[in-house]
């Protein structure tokens, strides 16, 4: 049987509890990109479509998410053979429900995103019970896999995938770039927005662009008022982001926890070195002095340790900005070379092979 015929027989349903909302309009985008890249399989796709920031949504989003799934897929004439769950718990319950009531022969694949592991340590009874029903695990980094405390004999380490359009961006010399520092992502505590605020006095006189939305937007905007060269933009499209990445001399990631960090890969695909706090995702992508700089962070996040971290970040940023043009170009090329393996087309090809093997 040739691959085209085999692909046509694969019935894949992709399930995720991630979906866009007003403060994070691109949340779950990389799952959507994987679905689009798998278009040849015509996969089913279920995501959290009702997702807002209201208190009512926080109370009812999962009941609505489950009810929507039951209506759309348990009574569908299509029978899916592979259930690919993004974000293990509690999303796994939808796959188990489908397997129990619709197709007992279906195989379950899970992609872990980070907090579905970080927040469930040690794992409880139902977490462990659900995990035993999974046929194959996908982790976005080796470090994330190592944090998973349960047995997973069948597993793969695979990037979440960035849009192929980032690979079309041309390289700019450091002298041609117009942004000294770029941040892209959610504006929240885990992403280190308080750290970005602490860096603002050091960044005075530098052209800084911040793209994103989140609960700390107002606090950040107030802190940035005395600094006219700091520009805060809302969420950007992939095309708009590519332009920002291309123009930035340095990209910064300040996360406390990060399983992969696609924005770092996107920046590097656009020939931009990265300075990042040490997380699972940053450690998987960066080689200090080669494609950026890793800055260690203490698990004891006391005020003193945070002050030391800010000082280390300042030194790392200064190192990037003071690189000679030749050395900076080497770092650009190393960043781009690493990021090419993260393109969603490559990730999709590996997923298809995995589906076939399962």
Domain residue ranges in the chain: 3-161+343-357, 164-341
The full 3-state SS of 231-268, as one line of letters, equals EEECCCCHHHHHHHHHHECCEEECCCCCCCCHHHHHHH
> 34 falls in which pLDDT band (50, 70, 90)?
very high
pLDDT at 1: 42
10 Å CB burial of residue 151 (0-12, 13-18, 19+) is exposed
What SS3 state is found at 151? coil
Record the tokens describing residue 81, joined without a space. Answer: 């053979």
As a whole number of Å, the end-to-end CA separation of the chain is 16
Same CATH topology for 3-161+343-357 and 164-341: the answer is yes
**19-28, 194-203, 286-295, 323-332: least confident range:** 19-28
> 2 falls in which pLDDT band (50, 70, 90)?
very low
Say how far residue 165 (Cα) sits from the centre of its chain: 17
Contacts of residue 76, Cβ cutoff 8 Å, sequence gap at least 6 = 44
What CATH number should be reported for the domain whose range is 164-341? 3.40.50.2000
Selected from 3.40.50.1100, 2.40.110.10, 3.40.50.2000, 3.20.20.140, the CATH number assigned to the domain covering 3-161+343-357 reads 3.40.50.2000
pTM of structure: 0.86
Cβ proximity of 317 and 181 under 8 Å: yes
Cβ proximity of 82 and 51 under 8 Å: no
What SS3 state is found at 221? helix
Average pLDDT over residues 150-158: 93
Rg, Å, the chain Cα set = 21
Contacts of residue 167, Cβ cutoff 8 Å, sequence gap at least 6 = 269, 340, 343
> 25 falls in which pLDDT band (50, 70, 90)?
confident
10 Å CB burial of residue 173 (0-12, 13-18, 19+) is exposed
Over residues 212-264, the pLDDT tens digits come to 998 999 999 999 999 999 999 988 988 999 999 999 999 999 999 998 899 99
Contacts of residue 24, Cβ cutoff 8 Å, sequence gap at least 6 = 186, 213, 214, 235
Contacts of residue 34, Cβ cutoff 8 Å, sequence gap at least 6 = 14, 160, 161, 344, 347, 348, 351
pLDDT at 277: 98
Average pLDDT over residues 100-125: 95
pLDDT at 20: 85
pLDDT at 8: 55
């Amino acid at each position: 049987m040739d691959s085209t015929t085999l692909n046509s027989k694969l019935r894949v349903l992709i399930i995720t509890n991630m979906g866009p909302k007003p403060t994070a309009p691109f949340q779950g985008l990389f799952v959507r990109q994987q679905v689009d890249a798998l278009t040849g399989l015509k996969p089913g796709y279920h995501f959290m479509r009702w997702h807002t920031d209201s208190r009512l949504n926080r109370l009812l989003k999962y009941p609505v998410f489950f009810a929507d799934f039951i209506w759309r897929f348990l009574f569908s004439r299509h029978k899916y053979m592979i259930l690919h769950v993004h974000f293990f718990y509690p999303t796994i319950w939808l796959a188990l429900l489908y397997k129990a009531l619709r197709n007992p022969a279906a195989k379950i694949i899970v992609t872990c995103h980070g907090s579905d592991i970080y927040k469930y340590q040690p794992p409880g009874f139902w977490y462990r019970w659900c995990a035993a029903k999974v046929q194959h695990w996908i982790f976005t980094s080796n470090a994330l896999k190592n944090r998973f405390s349960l047995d997973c004999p069948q597993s793969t380490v695979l990037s979440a995938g960035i849009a192929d359009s980032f690979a079309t961006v041309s390289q700019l010399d450091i002298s041609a770039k117009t942004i000294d520092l770029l941040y892209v992502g959610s504006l929240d505590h885990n992403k280190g927005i308080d750290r970005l605020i602490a860096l603002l006095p050091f960044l005075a006189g530098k052209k800084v662009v911040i793209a994103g939305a989140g609960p700390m937007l107002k606090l950040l905007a107030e802190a940035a008022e005395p600094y006219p060269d700091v520009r805060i933009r809302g969420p950007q499209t992939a095309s708009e982001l590519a332009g920002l990445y291309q123009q930035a001399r340095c990209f910064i990631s300040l996360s406390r926890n990060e399983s992969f960090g696609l924005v770092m890969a996107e920046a590097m695909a656009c020939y931009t070195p990265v300075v990042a706090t040490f997380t699972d995702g940053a450690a998987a992508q960066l080689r200090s002095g080669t494609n950026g700089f890793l800055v260690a962070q203490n698990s004891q996040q006391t005020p003193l340790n945070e002050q030391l971290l800010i000082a280390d970040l300042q030194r790392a940023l200064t190192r990037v900005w003071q690189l000679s043009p030749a050395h900076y170009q080497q770092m650009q090329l190393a960043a781009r070379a690493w990021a090419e393996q993260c393109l969603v087309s490559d990730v999709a090809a590996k997923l298809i092979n995995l589906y076939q093997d399962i």
